């Protein structure tokens, strides 16, 4: 596992080097993009009302939840391509990208938590990134999926969430 601040794009060459050292000539079989933030107002409210939503808050959430995962995929693309070329069925035995998403990014009629504009938009965008990767011929044999792990008790998910991190691992 390689940990990094996903919005520190200057660190991507280091990340690629660390991953390459770990996987060797076989390439990268599994990339899990799990970074995510929820917008916070100046008072640390997690649901910023529309009238209080600032562009920099929206940009920060979109940067972390959508743009950074895509840039990480781009940086690791040569290693994903190497693994995907190994043959066999598409999936984790070859190359797989898992983007952690949320039901809040669904374009459906999920009405349990209205608002949360930046987070919901960023998760809808990562869903489209995932779908576009899945349909792309840029990495033949690579599987790309978005996963909603449920509402998990984390710093972001709060203690009120019904799932614990241990259950999800």
Confidence band for 72, pLDDT divided at 50, 70 and 90: very high
pLDDT in tens, 6-65: 999 999 999 999 999 999 999 999 999 988 888 765 445 566 778 888 899 889 999 999
Contact yes or no for 122/75 (Cβ under 8 A) = no
| Residue-number span of the structural domain to which 89 is assigned | 9-168
Report the b/e string of 37-50 with b at 16+ CB within 10 A.
bbbbeeeeeeebee
* Structural domain includes residue 120: yes
* Structural domain includes residue 128: yes
* Structural domain includes residue 66: yes
* Structural domain includes residue 55: yes
Structure tokens at 43: 């008072």
Looking at the chain, which runs of residues are DSSP E strands?
A: 30-33, 95-100, 142-147
118 against 43, higher pLDDT: 118
Is a pLDDT exceeding 60 seen at residue 168? no
Q: What is the pLDDT of residue 164?
A: 60
pLDDT in tens, 130-149: 999 999 877 788 889 999 87
Q: What is the pLDDT of residue 94?
A: 83
Q: How far, in Å, CA of 87 to CA of 32, rounded?
A: 21
* DSSP-derived 3-state class of residue 136: coil
* Structural domain includes residue 2: no
Count of domains in the chain?
A: 1
pLDDT in tens, 80-112: 999 999 877 666 678 999 999 988 878 776 666
Q: How many CB atoms neighbour CB 113 within 10 A?
A: 14
CATH number at residue 162: 3.40.50.720
* Structural domain includes residue 124: yes
Q: Which of 39, 62, 47 is nearest to 114 (CA)?
A: 47
Is a pLDDT exceeding 50 seen at residue 74? yes
């Amino acid at each position: 596992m390689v940990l990094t601040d996903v919005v520190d794009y200057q660190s991507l060459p280091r990340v690629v080097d660390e991953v390459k050292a770990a996987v060797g000539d076989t390439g990268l079989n599994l990339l899990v993009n799990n970074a995510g933030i929820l917008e916070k107002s100046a008072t640390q409210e997690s649901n910023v009302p529309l009238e209080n939503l600032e562009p920099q808050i929206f940009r920060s959430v979109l940067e972390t939840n959508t743009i950074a995962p895509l840039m990480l995929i781009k940086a690791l693309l040569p290693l994903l391509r190497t693994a995907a070329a190994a043959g066999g069925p598409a999936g984790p035995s070859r190359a797989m990208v898992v983007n952690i998403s949320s039901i809040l990014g669904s374009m459906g009629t999920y009405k349990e938590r209205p608002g949360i504009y930046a987070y919901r938009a960023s998760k809808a965008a990562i869903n489209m990134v995932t779908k576009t990767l899945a349909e792309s011929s840029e990495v033949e044999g690579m599987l790309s999926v978005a996963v909603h792990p449920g509402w998990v008790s984390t710093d972001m998910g709060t203690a009120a969430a019904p799932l614990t991190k241990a259950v999800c691992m």
